[in-house]
Structure 1
Amino acid sequence: MGFSSKKWAQIISNFASLLYFFIIIVQVPLFRVPCRIGSCQTPVEVMACASEFLPEFVVKALLYPGAVKRALMEGAAVPSPDQLLHPYKFKKGKKTDLRQLEVIVGSYLCVAGAFVGLLRRGRMSYLGLTLILWGIAREMFFGGKHATKAPCLFPQMIITMVIAFFSMRRDVRKLLKCCIPDCVAERLKNRSKAKYS
């Protein structure tokens, strides 16, 4: 089997997409921003606090995997679906804080990108993370002192951005072509042909 940038790009992007989906759905903390519940640390939590655009059952379905993960880590009972929304003060008519518009839009793109990435590769996830990064950086440097808890980024955010980049198949293929010269690829092909001939 010889070197094929297309094949390797597909393998890498498939694995990265699955890993990204897992990070978003089980709600690995990526950042901290002030929100309705005090502070939110994941795109799903931001969506739950700014959920006037989503039906209640969708918000519950998104929150449930993270609630199960927390319950297992803390040795507590898994909450019922009806109890999931209590900490998020879920109210259909409640307005969102527009100062965090980039973080909110980015969070929606991150979660949507996690699902879309399982079917086809795209840039939605990476764009969402970039928006969140921009929103938090703007708040940190130009936001003033209105927030009770200052926003910050966790190291996991940078790792997740790298994973989101590797989920973009075309970009990974370009990177592979750039990093592995044609002569090396040709040599690997010839070696594999000689091996199987």
Structure 2
Amino acid sequence: MASSTRLATLISFIAFSTYFFFIIFQVPIFRVPCRMGICKTPLEVTSSQLISSEVFPLFIVKTLLYPGAFVKAICKQKSIPTYGNLLKLYKLSARAMSATSDLQHLEVLAGSYLAVGGAIAGLIKPGRMSLFGILLLMWGLIRELIMGKSGIHIYPAMYIVLVLAFFSIRRDVRKIIRSFDLKHIVKAKRF
């Protein structure tokens, strides 16, 4: 029992850490038209919506965007962006955005909010919010693809993020481990 609990904790910690890395450092997992042009991560979709709705102060949005901009600059061997020109780098400004352009992709918007919220809330305790966010995101993207909308793509990294979001839920991982342990015990008793 104790070993399955430790193993489940380890698996869920590694899965959540990797999920957090994918979301916060803005690894591209899809491509969808949004207010800033083309959004490739849930954080970009969320940030464009937060700026246009003016719900949160700009410094919170900039704080969320900066780690991804920092990593992108290092990977592309460009200069590290300053905190002040971060919105210009992402082509985000409150004046240039309309309030209704993202409402066409409502599932993508809601899924992005939940995926980013799950990554941030998961620092305290990983839960199902990130899994529901990724599932809603996938549902919205697949629905848009079936309807024949252009400019929408799902990258293979999306499926990796889905698996990571599932395995970040420790209780479910523990149930899976226990089910394999029980099957192994039953097989051993037969022989």
Question: What's the TM-score, normalizing by structure 1?
Answer: 0.84
Distance 1:139 1:173 in 2: 35
Q: Name the CA shift for 1:57/1:175 in 2 (closer, same or farther; >3 Å).
A: same
Q: Residue type of the partner of 1:90? A: S
Check the 8 A contact 1:33/1:151 in 2, yes or no. Answer: yes
1:82-161 equivalence runs, <5 A: 82-86=84-88, 87-91=90-94, 94-96=98-100, 97-144=102-149, 147=150, 150-161=151-162
What residue number does 2:66 align with? 64
Q: How many angstroms does 1:177 deviate by?
A: 1.1
Whether 2:8 is the aligned partner of 1:6: answer no
- Alignment RMSD: 2.0
Q: How many angstroms does 1:54 deviate by?
A: 2.5
Distance 2:76 2:126 in 1: 35
Whether 2:24 is the aligned partner of 1:25: answer yes
Identical columns (%): 44
Deviation larger for 17-26 or 173-182: 173-182
Q: How many angstroms does 1:173 deviate by?
A: 0.8
If you compute each CA radius of gyration, which structure gives the higher value, 1 or 2? Answer: 1
Check the 8 A contact 1:36/1:88 in 2, yes or no. Answer: no
Q: Residue type of the partner of 1:27? A: Q
Q: Residue type of the partner of 2:181? A: I
Gaps of 5+ in 1: 188-197
- Show CA shifts across 1:30-54 (max 9, x none): 0000112221000111112111233
Gaps of 5+ in 2: none
SS in 2 for 1:4: helix
Check the 8 A contact 2:29/2:40 in 1, yes or no. Answer: yes
Distance 1:13 1:111 in 2: 18
SS in 1 for 2:43: helix
Higher relative contact order (CA 8 A, sep 6+): 1
Question: What's the TM-score, normalizing by structure 2?
Answer: 0.87
Distance 1:120 1:31 in 2: 26
